[in-house]
Amino acid sequence: MHLSTQVSAAAAAEPQILPLSYSRGYKKTQHSFIYDGNEIKQSQHPILGFSEEVHVEYTVQLVDCGLLLFQNQDNLFLCNPLRGEVLELPQPLPVPSEVTVRYGIGFDSTIRSYKIVRVGRELSALRKVQIEVYTLGSPSWRVICPPESFSLKPVYPFDGLSAFGVIHWRKWDGRRKKACIISFDVKDEEFKETPLPDFGCPRKHIRQFNLTNLRGFLAVVSFPSSAHLEIWMLKDYQKKEWIREYKISTQVWERGPYKWARGPYNIPPRVANFRFWGSSDMGACSQGLVFAESFGHCKVVDLQNKCIWDMKLPEGYNESDRRTFSYTGSILSLRNFGNPIAEIPHKYRFLKTARTVYASP
């Protein structure tokens, strides 16, 4: 039985944490894991499988909407692990090596298709950007130009996050001491600014925040002080009204193999206060947020018990797995956007998950 058919149907609905390395590792399989409110559990079946015979260098550029965007050499392709499908994408415009490229993906309800946005920013000239959009099922990428008055300087160098059919990046302008969220509406293909919540703290702390999709809503995880963190959720995107859903102490508690129970005689030892950096990798599942760390450990923000745990990651977690993604399986079939290729090309055979490959028109 193929790997993709072994993945539980629950994977299409249950948000999971998918750790991935920055570039090609030498693992045969890659599992996801979840925090179930009591412990971290590894998925029964792997999300990805890799060939031991075919070794290809690649990077994972994006994980969103149940899809993974891979790049190996000059090839870009989408993978739906749940269905074992791969869609080969057209080549975007070439960019110089000094240009940093980031991606985002979102669903356009007006045409019932997905769009990928590619933002290239030249490090030596931060205002010079190259923006391309690709609609799944179309033959090529399109270049779009934001208004001259609109600056993408400097967008944090992380992948865009999709929510409400909009792709979001966090932005911090150190000179102006201003933080905001840059949003790309995939329907109108326009960049807009989404205001942040009123954190009620000095401006110098505003940059310490991260974005995630929590239970289907755009969420901001902020650290307004060293004593606590806050989680704000944007439940009404049209009104742009943020609601603070959680305020949790940054004290970290060590959680051992024992079962934790409330009461004065079974209190886990306190480790330290959690220190958050803007570059911290974070993934979200329904019961909590997971910040991956070195030496096989992680910090778990427990949303039910409203505390932070220091926990060990499941066996098999590789030290090279330094990117932590939120992943929810999708039943979307990539065959709707391309033509089948009779024989799987050699360049995709490193990915055993791929059972069917489609080529864009």
Q: β-strand 251-254 against 307-312: which pairing, if any?
A: parallel
Q: Does residue 105 have a pLDDT over 50?
A: yes
Contacts of 26 (CB under 8 A, 6+ apart): 55
CATH class, domain 3-359, is mainly beta
Q: Does residue 272 have a pLDDT over 80?
A: no
* pLDDT classification of 106: cutoffs 50, 70, 90: very high
Helices (H), the chain: 3-6
| CA–CA gap between residue 24 and residue 145 (Å, rounded) | 33
Task: Mean pLDDT check: name the lowest of 63-77, 270-284, 299-313.
Answer: 270-284
Q: Which of 144, 192, 146, 140 is closest to 165 using CA atoms?
A: 192
Phi-psi label, residue 200: left if phi above 0, alpha if psi -120 to 50, beta otherwise: left
The two structure tokens encoding residue 12: 């299409």
Q: Does residue 308 have a pLDDT over 70?
A: yes
Tell me, what's the pLDDT at 195? Answer: 86
What phi, psi does 274 have (nearest 5°)? Answer: -75, 130
The domains of the chain are located at: 3-359
